[in-house]
């Protein structure tokens, strides 16, 4: 199962990292690939951009070896098994490493540990050793 997950994630290798954006609470999204304007006119007026590929933390800890630098390229990505679910290892061309580690929370709300959004698919990973991959037609 982890081999299939890693195969899906390989599409991120070679893509440019552009920026990280805090979202709700201590969640974080990392944006890769071509940048696009928001479909929302309000957000477009605020020059709100998002990446073609988005890696988002949810019910997880995350850490970066160093400050994330823009315009670096993904060299490696690998999901791995922890005591609480699938973690994620990401290496950028500046040799920086970004890790997502599932936490041991027994929360009533079962959040995914992390998500990966791509042009024609989304992957929701966790909680635990579970993930769902959904494919869909690209929106215009």
- Name the CA radius of gyration of the chain, rounded: 15
Partnered with residue 64 across adjacent β-strands are 98
Report if residue 74 sits inside a domain. Answer: yes
* Tally of domains in the chain: 1
Report if residue 140 sits inside a domain. Answer: no
Counting Cα atoms < 13 Å in the Cβ hemisphere of 37 gives 9
Report if residue 128 sits inside a domain. Answer: yes
pLDDT at residue number 121: 94
Report if residue 125 sits inside a domain. Answer: yes
pLDDT at residue number 109: 64
Report if residue 6 sits inside a domain. Answer: yes
pLDDT at residue number 86: 95
Which ranges of the chain have pLDDT less than 70? 105-109, 137-140
The residue segments making up the domain with residue 117 are 2-135
Using alpha carbons, select from 135, 139, 137, 130 the residue that is nearest to residue 2.
130
Encoded tokens for 87: 């973690």
- Is this model's pTM higher than 0.95 or not? no
Report if residue 109 sits inside a domain. Answer: yes
């Amino acid at each position: 199962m982890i081999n299939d997950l890693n195969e899906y994630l390989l599409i991120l290798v070679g893509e440019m990292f552009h920026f990280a954006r805090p979202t709700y609470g201590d969640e974080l999204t990392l944006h890769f690939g071509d940048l696009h304007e928001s479909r929302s006119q309000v957000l477009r007026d605020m020059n709100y951009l998002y990446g073609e590929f988005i890696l988002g933390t949810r019910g997880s800890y995350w850490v970066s070896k160093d400050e994330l630098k823009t315009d670096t390229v993904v060299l490696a990505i690998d999901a791995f098994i922890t005591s609480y679910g699938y973690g994620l290892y990401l290496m950028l061309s500046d040799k920086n490493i970004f890790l997502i580690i599932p936490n041991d929370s027994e929360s009533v709300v079962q959040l995914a540990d992390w998500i990966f959004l791509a042009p024609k698919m989304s992957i929701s990973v966790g909680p635990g050793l579970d993930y769902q991959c959904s494919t869909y037609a690209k929106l215009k």
